[in-house]
């Protein structure tokens, strides 16, 4: 492909056209309208209960109370709409990510933009692995072929040629490169006309989501049963069926686990944002919960562990070696000129590959005034590298009029094959190559051949008469942070497996400097000769795979999965897609990655950096731990509500809670409190314990019991405070207010307690997050308002308590939680000594 581009549209023209003709998108706007959202809200049980309670108040002639409850209906509406919008936005962002990106030429400069910003007449560069963003005609093509099966059902790649070739939106470039001019976008493309959409992101079900749904359903069932029982009991004990119904509804509102699904979505959506701050994009929300379970992390060497910045450091010709560091500033000895000459001839004219860039740069520096550079030769034929033969050749036409020059470079074994080296020469060469590889260098062999211009070009590289020229060693240094991150993985019980196409010796040397144990190593050839069973057996002790083809990554993933591992795997090319899809977490490289790889992956790295993956795993563990705490907390704060609905009934006391109190707690206080956990930084021990087993539930019996125990303790202390107040002759309205103060204070303090499970109690008050401080301040002021301002207090059937009583109730709420913590510490101490 020539490197002169048409200059394309200007930025102004493109944005004008984008405004006039719309974005390159398929399908209709799926945003829900207000009536549909209202319809959804109307089906919320909380809404129905509030309406029911309001109707009963109306029937009892209390229009005031009914109106206030109506106010809460508005609150639910608002919260639901906000929530919808937020989820919608998160999904939209995901959709943007999965939509193809396009390399467009604007003002003569190639530029990556989102596929939806492509306009008619844009000039696009197509590369292997791209998903074509719009319909268009092919302007230039170099071995270009597309998979059009999504349009035609035909899975054979269709070759594309300039001028008469057409390419279609949604199809995949499986080979070669090319230039296209866009002729149709959005719904006017072939894909649009058959009404298909590529980017259907559905919230898949996941173990975590299923568990939360189950928990919600169980609690709902228990709730309904309890409410019916309570209503019946009330009717028997006190009579008055309207009051009985109201008591039942109050309890139902209190038990209703409506927060759980909300907490779940909020944690995952905010979690995705936190992970994005580490420059890792989440394409599937489920990946967030799987991250914390990861037991094996399979990574590419080049670019992920290393910097993907190659430098020529070592040359070898005829048994002589040269370290480039030794000659800096001097001339390159004549012996090595030909090696460098052919390395450049075997590279692209305008290279992107870091190795070829290194050769070009080195040649510019040392061959500038020699006869070894040939800008006037023309490239007549290219032979691509393949996984069968790790070498690539260029056939050059020069002005001799007799012979074309062929240059090749590739893996030393491949070059030895091409040169038909005799056994002893082959041994010598591999010894030389290994001495470079042992230093972590990537070693390339270089060879040359001549080919008469009167003969036809052979189809395969083997038919040339190659002559060996020499070896070049290129250094690609490890990223400086990698060995620290690998060590962190090991502390966290995560195995790091390196997979590379490179030479085993190079692989082992790089593995060693990264801190990966490469003492047992498998090569692609060995892999190919193993059956699945044998591989599954071996794989638990092998951390380095070398000379592996991308296709073999799939076998590695499958073997790890067969061993019960939870596998995260990185990849970037078209051939990596099956492995990325098969892994529990497929991780695509945002910079080098192809559209195909990104579509198959659940995470996309914006910086192709290993440490970002480790940071994401740390966040995954933290999100799960925080989610667990939030759910335990929510369970715990439901208990006092249930208790306070039932206890007064049994003891013949005035009721404490009415629907309005529950609405206040369930709609404002508790949800706000549970969000506090999202911002928890997570304890340092998170990455010092093995991954959570795949089978571990979010809420197991100990968590359930722990939460219930906390709730029961709080209930007891509130009930006792309430009864003592009444006994002391405080009027029912003030006693109710006091009980409510104890309840809310205890709930708020419980946040500090739950989040301190792994710390000691002094730390309970240290370093709460900003969110926590805001929520605590908000809760306190809300509480002060409804118990202190007479007009508001009246709506809650409160009489403002005296300051002394207020403070006593407040202290009692905090004291309860302190007692709980003391109990917890005591239990732990007992456990340790016993």
Ligand X SMILES: Nc1ncnc2c1ncn2[C@@H]1O[C@H](COP(=O)(O)OP(=O)(O)OP(=O)(O)O)[C@@H](O)[C@H]1O
Binding site for ligand X (CB under 6 A): 300-302, 353, 355-356, 385, 390, 392, 409-411, 442, 444, 500-502
Kindly report the number of other CB atoms within 10 A of residue 442's CB atom. Answer: 26
Q: How far is the CB of 372 from Cu ion (least distance, A)?
A: 6
* φ/ψ of residue 550, rounded to 5: -55, -35
Produce one character per residue of 796-817: b if its CB has 16 or more CB atoms within 10 Å, e if not.
bbbbbbeeebbebbbebbeebb
Contacted by 409, from ligand X, Cu ion, none: CB < 5 to 8 Å by type? ligand X
Contacted by 353, from ligand X, Cu ion, none: CB < 5 to 8 Å by type? ligand X
Q: How far is the CB of 436 from Cu ion (least distance, A)?
A: 23
Q: How far is the CB of 410 from ligand X (least distance, A)?
A: 4
d(CA 391, CA 1): 20
Instruction: Report the residue number, 385 or 784, with the smaller CB distance to ligand X.
Output: 385
d(CA 576, CA 805): 68
Contacted by 302, from ligand X, Cu ion, none: CB < 5 to 8 Å by type? ligand X
Rule CB under 5 A: which of 383-422 touch Cu ion?
A: none
Contacted by 300, from Cu ion, ligand X, none: CB < 5 to 8 Å by type? ligand X
Long-range CB contacts for residues 817-823, cutoff 8 Å, separation at least 24: 817/714, 817/746, 817/749, 817/750, 817/752, 817/753, 818/749, 818/761, 819/713, 819/717, 820/710, 820/713, 820/714, 820/750, 820/753, 821/753, 821/756, 821/761, 821/764, 822/761, 823/713
Q: How many residues bind Cu ion, per CB under 5 A?
A: 3
Q: How far is the CB of 317 from Cu ion (least distance, A)?
A: 12
Q: How far is the CB of 341 from Cu ion (least distance, A)?
A: 8
Contacted by 390, from Cu ion, ligand X, none: CB < 5 to 8 Å by type? ligand X
CA atoms within 13 A on the CB side of 793: 19
Q: How far is the CB of 548 from ligand X (least distance, A)?
A: 7
Instruction: Report the residue number, 346 or 566, with the smaller CB distance to ligand X.
Output: 346
Q: How far is the CB of 373 from Cu ion (least distance, A)?
A: 11
Instruction: Report the residue number, 216 or 370, with the smaller CB distance to Cu ion.
Output: 370
Q: Could you tell me if 446 and 343 are in contact, meaning their C-beta atoms sit under 8 angstroms apart? A: yes
Q: At what angle are helices 259-277 and 63-98 packed, to 10 degrees?
A: 40
CA 392 to chain CA mean position, Å: 36
Q: Could you tell me if 739 and 806 are in contact, meaning their C-beta atoms sit under 8 angstroms apart? A: no
Torsion angle, alpha carbons of 329, 335, 336, 341, to 10: 120
DSSP 788: H
Q: How far is the CB of 388 from ligand X (least distance, A)?
A: 11
Interface segment toward Cu ion; rule CB under 5 A; list 229-237, 327-335, 491-499, 539-547: 327-335
Q: How far is the CB of 666 from ligand X (least distance, A)?
A: 53
Instruction: Report the residue number, 553 or 638, with the smaller CB distance to ligand X.
Output: 553
Rule CB under 5 A: which of 579-638 touch Cu ion?
A: none
Q: How far is the CB of 567 from ligand X (least distance, A)?
A: 17
Instruction: Report the residue number, 304 or 316, with the smaller CB distance to Cu ion.
Output: 316
Contacted by 337, from Cu ion, ligand X, none: CB < 5 to 8 Å by type? Cu ion
Q: How far is the CB of 337 from ligand X (least distance, A)?
A: 20
Tokens of 721: 């405070």
Q: How far is the CB of 300 from ligand X (least distance, A)?
A: 4
Tokens of 508: 């082992």
Q: Which residue has the tokens 């670019």?
A: 303
- Per-residue 3-state assignment (H helix, E strand, C coil) for 513-562: HHCCCCCCEEEHHHHHCCCHHHHHHHHHHCCEEECCCHHHHHHHHHHHHH
Among 209, 301, 337, 628, binds Cu ion (CB under 5 A): 337
Instruction: Report the residue number, 53 or 405, with the smaller CB distance to Cu ion.
Output: 405
Interface segment toward Cu ion; rule CB under 5 A; list 156-164, 316-324, 335-343, 698-706: 335-343
Tokens of 91: 């999904």
Which residue is at the shortest CB distance from ligand X? 501
Instruction: Report the residue number, 81 or 385, with the smaller CB distance to ligand X.
Output: 385
Contacted by 442, from ligand X, Cu ion, none: CB < 5 to 8 Å by type? ligand X
Interface segment toward Cu ion; rule CB under 5 A; list 62-70, 168-176, 245-253, 330-338: 330-338
What residues contact residue 263 under an 8 Å CB cut-off, 6+ apart? Answer: 627, 630, 631, 634, 671, 674
Instruction: Report the residue number, 117 or 341, with the smaller CB distance to Cu ion.
Output: 341
Instruction: Report the residue number, 46 or 355, with the smaller CB distance to ligand X.
Output: 355
Instruction: Report the residue number, 150 or 373, with the smaller CB distance to Cu ion.
Output: 373
Contacted by 668, from ligand X, Cu ion, none: CB < 5 to 8 Å by type? none
What residues contact residue 155 under an 8 Å CB cut-off, 6+ apart? Answer: 147, 149
3-state secondary structure of 771: helix
Interface segment toward Cu ion; rule CB under 5 A; list 5-13, 85-93, 333-341, 528-536: 333-341
Interface segment toward Cu ion; rule CB under 5 A; list 246-254, 363-371, 586-594, 674-682: 363-371
Rule CB under 5 A: which of 365-384 touch Cu ion?
A: 370
Contacted by 410, from Cu ion, ligand X, none: CB < 5 to 8 Å by type? ligand X
Instruction: Report the residue number, 293 or 300, with the smaller CB distance to ligand X.
Output: 300
Which of 607, 767, 770, 809 has the alpha carbon at shortest distance from 683? Answer: 767
* φ/ψ of residue 278, rounded to 5: -90, 15
What residues contact residue 450 under an 8 Å CB cut-off, 6+ apart? Answer: 403, 404, 405, 406, 465
Instruction: Report the residue number, 259 or 341, with the smaller CB distance to Cu ion.
Output: 341
Which of 578, 579, 607 has the alpha carbon at shortest distance from 591? Answer: 607
Q: How far is the CB of 342 from Cu ion (least distance, A)?
A: 12
Instruction: Report the residue number, 106 or 372, with the smaller CB distance to Cu ion.
Output: 372
Site of interaction with Cu ion (CB under 5 A): 334, 337, 370
């Amino acid at each position: 492909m020539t490197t002169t581009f048409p200059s394309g549209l200007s930025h102004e023209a493109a944005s004008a056209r984008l405004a006039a003709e719309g974005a390159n998108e398929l399908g209709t706007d799926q945003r829900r309208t207000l009536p549909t959202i209202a319809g959804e809200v109307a089906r919320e049980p909380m809404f129905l209960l509030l309406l029911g309670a309001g109707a009963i108040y109306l029937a009892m002639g209390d229009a005031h109370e009914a109106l206030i409850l109506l106010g809460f209906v508005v609150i639910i509406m608002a919260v639901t709409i906000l929530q919808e919008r937020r989820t919608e936005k998160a999904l939209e962002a995901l959709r943007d990510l999965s939509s193809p990106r396009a390399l467009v030429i604007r003002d003569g400069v190639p530029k990556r933009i989102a596929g939806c910003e492509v306009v008619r007449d844009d000039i696009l560069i197509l590369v292997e692995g791209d998903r074509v963003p719009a319909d268009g005609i092919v302007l230039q093509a170099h071995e270009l072929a597309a998979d059009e099966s999504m349009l035609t059902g035909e899975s054979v790649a269709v070759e594309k040629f300039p001028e008469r070739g057409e390419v279609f939106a949604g199809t995949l470039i499986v080979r070669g490169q090319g230039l296209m001019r866009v002729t149709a976008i959005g719904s006017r493309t072939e894909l649009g006309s058959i009404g298909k959409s590529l980017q259907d992101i559905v919230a898949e079900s996941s173990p975590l989501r299923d568990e939360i749904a189950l928990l919600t359903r169980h609690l709902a069932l228990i709730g309904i049963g309890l409410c019916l029982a309570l209503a019946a009991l009330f009717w028997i004990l006190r009579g008055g069926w309207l009051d009985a119904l109201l008591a039942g509804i109050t309890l139902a509102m209190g038990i209703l686990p409506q927060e759980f699904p909300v907490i779940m979505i909020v944690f995952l959506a905010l979690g995705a944002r936190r992970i994005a701050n580490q420059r890792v994009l989440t394409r599937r929300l489920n990946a967030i919960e799987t991250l914390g379970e990861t037991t094996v992390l399979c990574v590419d060497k080049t670019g992920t562990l290393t910097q993907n910045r190659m430098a020529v450091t070592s040359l070898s010709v005829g048994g002589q070696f040269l370290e480039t560091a030794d000659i800096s500033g001097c001339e390159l000895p004549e012996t090595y000129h030909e090696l460098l000459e052919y390395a450049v001839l075997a590279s692209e004219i305008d290279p992107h590959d870091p190795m070829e860039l290194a050769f070009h740069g080195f040649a510019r520096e040392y061959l500038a005034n020699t006869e070894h550079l040939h800008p006037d030769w023309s490239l007549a034929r290219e032979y691509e590298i393949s996984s069968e033969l790790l070498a690539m050749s260029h056939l050059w036409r020069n002005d001799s009029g007799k012979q074309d020059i062929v240059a090749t470079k590739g893996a030393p074994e491949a070059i030895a094959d091409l040169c038909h080296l005799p056994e002893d020469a082959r041994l010598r060469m591999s010894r030389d190559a290994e001495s470079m590889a042992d230093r972590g260098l990537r070693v390339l062999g270089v060879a040359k051949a001549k080919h008469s211009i009167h003969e036809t070009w052979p189809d395969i590289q083997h038919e040339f008469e190659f002559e060996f020229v020499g070896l070049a060693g290129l250094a690609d240094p490890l990223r400086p942070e990698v060995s620290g991150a690998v060590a962190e993985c090991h502390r966290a019980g995560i195995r790091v497996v390196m997979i590379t196409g490179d030479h085993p010796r190079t692989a082992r040397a790089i593995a060693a400097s990264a801190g990966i144990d490469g003492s047992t190593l498998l090569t692609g050839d060995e892999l190919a000769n193993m059956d699945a069973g044998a591989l599954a057996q071996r794989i638990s002790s092998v951390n380095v795979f070398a000379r592996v083809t991308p296709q073999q990554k799939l076998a590695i993933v499958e073997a790890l999965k067969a061993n019960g591992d939870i596998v995260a795997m990185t990849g970037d090319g078209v051939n990596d897609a099956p492995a990325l899809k098969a892994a529990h977490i497929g991780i695509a490289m945002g910079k080098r990655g192809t559209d195909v790889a990104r579509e198959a992956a659940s995470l996309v790295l914006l910086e192709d950096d290993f440490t970002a993956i480790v940071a994401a795993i740390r966040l995954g563990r933290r999100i799960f731990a925080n989610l667990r705490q939030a759910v335990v907390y929510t369970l715990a704060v439901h208990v006092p509500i249930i208790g306070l609905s039932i206890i007064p009934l049994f003891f013949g006391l005035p009721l404490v809670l009415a629907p309005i109190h529950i609405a206040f707690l369930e709609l404002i206080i508790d949800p706000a409190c549970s969000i506090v956990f999202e911002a928890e930084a997570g304890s340092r021990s998170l990455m010092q314990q093995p991954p959570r087993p795949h089978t571990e539930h979010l809420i197991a019996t100990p968590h359930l019991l722990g939460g219930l125990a906390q709730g029961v303790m709080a209930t007891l202390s509130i009930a006792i405070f309430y009864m003592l107040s009444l006994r002391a002759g405080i009027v029912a309205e003030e006693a109710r207010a006091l009980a409510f103060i104890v309840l809310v204070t205890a709930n708020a303090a419980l946040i500090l307690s739950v989040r301190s499970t792994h710390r000691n109690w002094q730390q309970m008050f240290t370093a709460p997050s900003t969110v926590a401080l805001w929520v605590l301040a908000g809760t306190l002021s809300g509480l002060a308002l409804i118990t202190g301002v007479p007009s508001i207090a009246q709506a809650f059937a409160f009489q403002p308590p005296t300051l002394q009583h207020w403070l006593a109730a407040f202290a009692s709420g905090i004291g309860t939680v302190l007692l709980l913590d003391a109990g917890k510490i005591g239990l732990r101490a007992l456990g340790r000594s016993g």
